[in-house]
Amino acid sequence: MTAADPDTPEGVARFLEGLRPRAGKPCASCGGAICGHEALMSVMMGFQDAPRCASCLARALGVEPDGLRGGIRSSASARECFAAGWRWASSAGGCGCGDLDPSGGTRMAAPAGGPPRHDAAWDAGDLGCGDLVLDLRMKMRELAPGHILRLTARDPGAPADIPSWCGMTGHTLVSSQPPTYWIQRKEN
Contact map string, positions 7 to 46, toward Zn ion, x by CB under 5 A: --------------------x-xx----x-x---------
Q: Which stretch binds Zn ion (CB under 5 A): 51-59, 121-129, 155-163, 179-187?
A: 51-59
Q: Where in 73-102 is the site for Zn ion (CB under 5 A)? A: 95, 97
Of 164, 170, 179, 173, nearest to 78 by C-alpha is 164
Show the DSSP H helices in the chain as ranges: 9-19, 36-45, 54-61, 65-76, 80-92, 129-142, 158-169
State in angstroms the smallest separation of the CB of 75 from Zn ion.
Answer: 16
The whole-angstrom separation of Cα 157 and Cα 83 is 13
| 129 labelled catalytic | yes
State in angstroms the smallest separation of the CB of 91 from Zn ion.
Answer: 11
> How many residues contact Zn ion, by CB under 5 A?
9
DSSP strand pairing (148-152 vs 180-184): antiparallel
The whole-angstrom separation of Cα 100 and Cα 77 is 6
Applying CB under 5 A, does 53 fall inside the site for Zn ion? Answer: yes
Angle subtended at Cα 147 by Cα 135 and Cα 172, rounded to the nearest 5 degrees: 75
State in angstroms the smallest separation of the CB of 93 from Zn ion.
Answer: 9
Chain positions contacting Zn ion, by CB under 5 A: 27, 29-30, 35, 37, 53, 56, 95, 97
Just list the catalytic residues: 129
